[in-house]
Amino acid sequence: MKLYDISRPFEDRVEAFRSGSVPVAVYGLGKMGLPLAAVYADTCHNVIGADVDESVVETINEGRSHVKREPGLSDLVSAVVTDGSLRATSDPQSAAADATVHVVIVPTLVDAQNEPDLSVLQSVARDIASGLEAGDIVILESTVPPRTCADVLEPLLVEASGLDAQEFGLAFCPERTASGRALEDIRGAYQKIVGGIDRESTDLARMIYEEINDAGVIAVSDTTTAEAVKVFEGVYRDVNIALANELGTFADDLDIDVTEAIEAANTLPYCNLHTPGAGVGGHCIPYYPHFMIGQFESSSPLMETARSVNDSMPAFTVDKLLKGLNEQGTTLSDATVVVLGLTYRAGVEEIRHAPSLPIVDRLVDQCASVYVVDPILEDFSAFDGSKPISRDEIYDVDPDAAVLVTAHEEFDGIDWEQFQDQLVVVDGRQALDIDGTDHWVYTIGAGWIEQE
Ligand SMILES: NC(=O)c1ccc[n+]([C@@H]2O[C@H](COP(=O)([O-])OP(=O)(O)OC[C@H]3O[C@@H](n4cnc5c(N)ncnc54)[C@H](O)[C@@H]3O)[C@@H](O)[C@H]2O)c1
Ligand SMILES: CC(=O)N[C@@H]1[C@@H](OP(=O)(O)OP(=O)(O)OC[C@H]2O[C@@H](n3ccc(=O)[nH]c3=O)[C@H](O)[C@@H]2O)O[C@H](CO)[C@@H](O)[C@@H]1O
C-alpha cells in the first residue's frame, strides 16, 4: 500500500501501516538510528535497516546491538530481529527499492571550517531516489540547518528520482533523544515534532508518529519550522550554558558560590540558568549553532559569542590548575597531573568536541606527566602524550594535581584522604565530595575553597 496517496481513505492507510504491510527503511543504524529502527520494527513489524558499516549490519542481523549503555535496547533488537520485524543491509539502494517509508538518521556534522557538512545526507538521498516510487514518503530525523528539506533534499530527490515533487511525501521529524535514554525518549518522553513539505506529508508523519510516540505529536506548519524547532532547542542550550559559564567565572570576584546563587535564582518559573562547567562537548550542542551562524543573511553575534565562551572553558580550567600549582610552588615542568573523565558527558562513550581534548593537550605541553582516567572509554589514542590508568591507580602515580572534566559515577569512590601530599584539585563539574581534606580545591562555579 502506498501511504502518500490521498485517493485512498486515510484509515485504510493507517491500518496498512499498523498491520505491517507498509515496508519501512531506516538509513543510519548508529546511536540513534538503531533504537529508532527497533521501535519502528516493534510498531509496524516490517523494517529494513540500512547502514554502510558492514560490522554494524552483521551484528544487528545476529540479533545483537552494537550500541552500548542503552537500557532495553539489546533485548528489543534481539526480539525484533528474531521475529523478522527488523533486518539490516549494507546496501541502502536495496532497502530503498523495497520500502514505502524512508526514514533518514545519518550523521550531519560540521567541517573544519564549522560549515555544515550534509554530504552523508546527500549520499543517502541519492540512494533513496534510486528506489523512490510515487506514493512513498521520506522522513528526515537527522538534525539539519533550517531550510535543508525545502532547498536541498526535495530538489535532490526530484532530480535523482525523476518523480515530480507532488508524487512523494517529505517530512522533517527531529530526534528529541539523548544517549542513555534513547528508547524512553523515542517512545514518548516528549511530544514528537513533525513538519511536512505539504499538508498531506504532515498528516502522514503525524499518523506514523502517533503510532510510535505515546506523548503524541506536535504538527508545525512545514519542514523548515520543524528543522528550526530542533536547532533552536540546541542553540537555547548552548547560549544558556555559556551564560552559566560566564557567571561562574565571577565566583572569585564575588567570593560566593555562584552555583548556589543559580539554584536559588532558578526557583523563579521564568529563570532557568544552566550549570557552569569545564566546557561543552558532544555531537550536538557544540555543532547546532553552526547550522545558523553564517548560513543566512541575518547576523548571529549572540550565538557566536556563546560558542566562544563555551570553547574558552577548557583553557579557563587549565589556567586555574596551573595557578594553583604555581601558588603551591610546584614548577609545571615537574608536575604530575591526573585528568578524571574524558568523554563529553558521563555515561556516553563519545569524545567528539570533548573539553578533555584541549585540556589534556595543554597539560601534556606544560607538565611533566599527565595521566588520564575514563572508565567507559576504550580508545585513548586521541589523548596523545598522556598515560591511561585505572581509577585505583591514581594513588600510585603520586600526583601533584587532579582535574575532573567528566563526572563519571566511578569517581565518587575516590578516597581523597589516601593521597600523602596536598593536591591542587580542579572540579570541573561540581561533582567531587572532597570536604575535610587539606587539598587546595577550585570548583568551577564556586571558586577556590580552602579545605579546613
Ligand atoms: N546522538 C544523539 O544524542 C542524537 C540525539 C538527537 C539527534 N541526533 C542526530 O541524529 C543523527 C545521527 O546521529 P547518531 O548519534 O546516531 O550518529 P552515529 O554516528 O552514532 O551513527 C550514524 C550511523 O550512520 C551510518 N552511516 C553513515 N553514512 C551512511 C550512509 N551513507 N548510509 C547509511 N548509513 C550511513 C554510520 O555507519 C553510523 O552507523 C545526527 O544528525 C544527530 O545530529 C543525535
Ligand atoms: C536541547 C537538549 O537538551 N539537547 C540534548 C543534548 O544532549 P547531549 O547528549 O548533547 O548532552 P547535554 O546534556 O546537552 O551536554 C552537552 C555538553 O554540555 C555540557 N553541559 C550541559 C549542561 C549544562 O548545564 N552545562 C554543561 O556544561 C555537558 O557536560 C556536555 O559536555 O543534545 C541531544 C542531541 O540533540 C538532545 O537530544 C538532548 O535532548
Task: State pLDDT tens for residues 256-309.
Answer: 999 999 999 999 999 999 999 999 999 999 999 999 999 999 999 999 999 999
Ligand 2 mean position, distance from CA 400 (Å) = 31
In terms of Cα–Cα distance, which of 284, 279, 283 is closest to 339? 279
Residue 320's alpha-carbon distances to 245, 283, 402, 427, in angstroms, are 14, 27, 11, 10
Model confidence pLDDT, tens digit, residues 60-99: 999 999 999 999 999 999 999 999 999 999 999 999 999 9
**What distance in Å separates the CA atoms of residue 16 and residue 22, rounded to the nearest whole number?**
6
Cβ of 233 below 6 Å from ligand 2? yes
Domains in the chain: boundaries:
10-224, 246-452
353 Cα nearest atom in ligand 2: 31
246-452 CATH: 3.40.50.720
The mean pLDDT of 315-331, rounded to a whole number, is 95
By most ligand atoms within 8 Å of CB, the mutation choice from 241, 285, 290, 357 for ligand 2 is 285
- Contact 31 CB / ligand 1 (< 6 Å): yes
- Same fold for the pair 10-224 and 246-452: yes
277-290 pLDDT tens trace: 999 999 999 999 99
> Residue 433 pLDDT more than 90?
no
Superfamily of domain 10-224: NAD(P)-binding Rossmann-like Domain (3.40.50.720)
Taking residues 406-425, what's their average pLDDT? 94
Q: Is the pLDDT of residue 452 over 60?
A: no
Q: Is the CB of 56 under 6 A from ligand 1?
A: yes
Nearest ligand to the CA of 54 is 1
Amino acid identity of 223? T
Q: Which helix or strand (DSSP H or E) is residue 270 part of?
A: none
Residue 420 is predicted with a pLDDT of 85
Cα separation, 122 vs 96, in Å, equals 14
Choosing from 36, 51, 110 the residue with most ligand 1 atoms within 8 A of its CB, the one to mutate for a pocket test is: 51
Work out the percent of the chain whose per-residue pLDDT is above 90: 93
- Whole-model pTM? 0.96
Q: What's the rounded mean pLDDT across residues 238-252?
A: 97
pLDDT, greater one: 433 or 198: 198
Note the pLDDT of residue 42.
97
pLDDT band at 401 (very low <50, low <70, confident <90, very high): very high
As given in the structure block, the three cell numbers for residue 357 are 581534548
Burial 25-49 (b: 16+ CB within 10 A, else e): bbbbbbbbbbbbbbbbbbbbbbbbb
Our mutation pick for probing the ligand 2 site, out of 237, 353, 444, counting the most ligand atoms within 8 A of Cβ, is 237
pLDDT one-digit tens code per residue, 104-141? 999 999 999 999 999 999 999 999 999 999 999 999 99
Q: Where are the alpha helices (DSSP H) in 249-291?
A: 251-254, 258-265
| pLDDT > 90? residue 192 | yes
Instruction: Give the span between the Cα atoms of 246 and 276, in whole angstroms.
Output: 8
At 5, is the pLDDT very low, low, confident or very high (cuts 50, 70, 90)?
A: confident
In the predicted structure, residue 21 carries a pLDDT above the cut 80: yes
